[in-house]
Amino acid sequence: MAIVYNFNPGPSILPKVVLSEIKKNFFNWNNSQSSILEISHRSQKFIEYTFQVEQDLRSILNIPKNYHVLFCHGGARGQFSAIPLNLKRKFTQPDYIHSGYWSLCAFQEAKKYCVPTYVSVRKVLQDKTIFIEPVKKWNISTNYTYLHYCPNETIEGIEIFEEPIFDNKIIVGDFSSTILSRKINVEKYGIIYACSQKNIGPAGITVVIVRDDLLMQPNIQSPSILNYQLLMKSNSMFNTPSVFSWYVAGLVFKWIKNLGGLSVIEKNNKKKAKLLYQYLSSTDFYKNYVISSHQSRMNVTFHLTKNELTNLFVDTAEKYKLLGLKGHSLVGGIRASIYNAMPIKGIYCLINFMKYFEEKFR
Ligand SMILES: *Cc1c(COP(=O)(O)O)cnc(C)c1O
């Protein structure tokens, strides 16, 4: 089989060694005589495994002791509700930063439970370039409250590398599509959350890293499965978790550790993104509209100047085994998601294909 490169935004590419490991152990996981799909989440072996998964994540991200790690249901969108529900007793007027689609969705969901302040940090310049205000210019409220933002807007391909720090704000970040792609200072945040289907594993398990003082008792009307305290007390097994996703997340964390951790991953990611953006800026056949300081390392978006060729580009790319390149319908164009598991060879193949397509259709 020719090598296939999967550029899908999520569910997305997994490391080949992880897929092989799953295959190898599929029918008899960890000498349990059963498949990982059949095993009880309450079995001693699996419980021990989940403790190891947490330890591995803690060591990769350097998570301080005064943070809990929860493995939740409901994806990132579940957290759009869980965060205001868990924090609203203390913080009724949080700040919500708008930088793109996902941060706007989080704001809209929060409105159901509290009175968030809307703060737009995004500008579209005359030549259609998307510009993000530097953190010190964010027009935030004066309240002592939490501030929600999204460091990587998966759909538009916008990344905020600067860590927002304000005296009177607890920072809450939707790290769904950038977690584990680069180093972050966990202690600068109150809550970091991420769905699994980008850099963690298959869909189904949502990682929430929460500072202990934010494990408050939510209102009685809040759904129990979103209650951080309950989840903490039950080691994230208040109800049946997605055992398989948890298992694969553990394999991915091991893979990251074996590679040398986030410094190696970050270096690779910088190199991959740079190759692609450099190529994009060398041609006028394709165009990326994000200001260079905020170009995402994980989701590279661009348009064909001959817009009518977009579908042909996507279909032809598939014939060359480059999958999942269609942009999100909201923004159109092309999106190449180049998460941790995308090898640099995949980037070279994509660039070669883009050159070929340009020569043929310019
Ligand atoms: C994918 C994604 C989401 C949505 O995740 P679900 O698990 O489908 O709810 C939210 N925010 C960001 C930044 C994402 O990339």
Tokens at 109, concatenated: 């969901």
| Orientation of helix 101-110 relative to helix 75-87, angle to 10° | 40
* 19-57 pLDDT tens trace: 999 999 999 999 999 999 999 999 999 999 999 999 999
Q: Which atom of ligand 1 is nearest to the CA of 10?
A: 1
Ligand 1 contacts (CB < 6 A) are: 10, 75-77, 102, 150, 154, 174, 176-177, 195, 198
- Kindly report the protein residue whose alpha carbon is nearest to atom 2 of ligand 1: 176
Average pLDDT, the chain: 97
Whether the predicted pLDDT of 130 surpasses 90: yes
CB 104 within 8 A of CB 98: yes
Q: Which residue positions form the known binding site for pyridoxal 5'-phosphate?
A: 76-77, 102, 154, 174, 197, 239-240
Q: Which residue positions form the known binding site?
A: 42, 76-77, 102, 154, 174, 197, 239-240
* 50-75 pLDDT tens trace: 999 999 999 999 999 999 999 999 99
DSSP helix/strand/coil, 45: helix
Q: Which atom of ligand 1 is nearest to the CA of 195?
A: 7
Q: Tell me the backbone φ, ψ of residue 219, rounded to 5 degrees.
A: -60, 150
How many helices (H) and strands (E) are present in the chain, helices listed first? 9, 16
The closest of 72, 70, 29, 75 to 49, measured between CA atoms, is 29
Pairing outcome for strands 322-323 and 5-6 = parallel
* 89-111 pLDDT tens trace: 999 999 999 999 999 999 999 99
Question: Cβ atoms within 10 A of the Cβ of 169, count?
Answer: 22
Task: Evaluate whether the domain defined by 261-361 bears CATH number 3.90.1150.10.
Answer: yes
Predicted local confidence at residue 244, as pLDDT: 98
255 is catalytic: no
Q: Provide the percentage of residues in the chain whose pLDDT is more than 90.
A: 97
Which residue in 102, 138, 246, 255 is the catalytic one?
A: 102
102 is catalytic: yes
CA distances from 277 to 115, 196, 290 (A): 39, 26, 10
Apex 242 CA angle, 10 and 335, nearest 5? 0
What CATH architecture is 18-259?
3-Layer(aba) Sandwich (3.40)
- For residue 108, the one-letter residue type is Q
**Radius of gyration (Cα) for the chain, nearest Å?**
21
> What percent helix, strand, coil does the chain show, rounded to 5?
40, 20, 45
Delimit the domains of the chain by residue range. Answer: 18-259, 261-361
Ligand 1 centroid distance, CA of 191 (Å): 16
Ligand 1 centroid distance, CA of 86 (Å): 19
Q: Which atom of ligand 1 is nearest to the CA of 206?
A: 7
- Kindly report the protein residue whose alpha carbon is nearest to atom 7 of ligand 1: 75
Within 13 Å and on the Cβ side, how many CA atoms surround 335? 26
Question: Cβ atoms within 10 A of the Cβ of 20, count?
Answer: 11
Whether the predicted pLDDT of 166 surpasses 90: yes
Ligand 1 centroid distance, CA of 215 (Å): 23
DSSP helix/strand/coil, 205: coil
Task: Please measure the distance between the N-terminal and C-terminal CA atoms of the chain and give it in whole angstroms.
Answer: 31
Burial of 206 (0-12, 13-18, 19+ CB in 10 A): buried
88 is catalytic: no
- Kindly report the protein residue whose alpha carbon is nearest to atom 14 of ligand 1: 176
- Kindly report the protein residue whose alpha carbon is nearest to atom 12 of ligand 1: 176
Predicted local confidence at residue 1, as pLDDT: 60
The closest of 200, 266, 261 to 60, measured between CA atoms, is 261
Q: What is the mean pLDDT of residues 80-87?
A: 97
Ligand 1 centroid distance, CA of 158 (Å): 14
- Kindly report the protein residue whose alpha carbon is nearest to atom 5 of ligand 1: 76
CB 160 within 8 A of CB 154: no
Q: Provide the percentage of residues in the chain whose pLDDT is more than 70.
A: 100
- For residue 125, the one-letter residue type is L
Beta strands in the chain (DSSP E): 5-6, 67-72, 95-98, 117-120, 122-124, 130-132, 145-149, 152-153, 158-159, 169-174, 191-194, 206-211, 286-287, 299-304, 322-323, 334-337
Beta strands in 231-333 (DSSP E): 286-287, 299-304, 322-323
Q: Tell me the backbone φ, ψ of residue 272, rounded to 5 degrees.
A: -60, -45
* 333-355 pLDDT tens trace: 999 999 999 999 999 999 999 99
**At which residue do the structure tokens 């969901």 appear?**
109
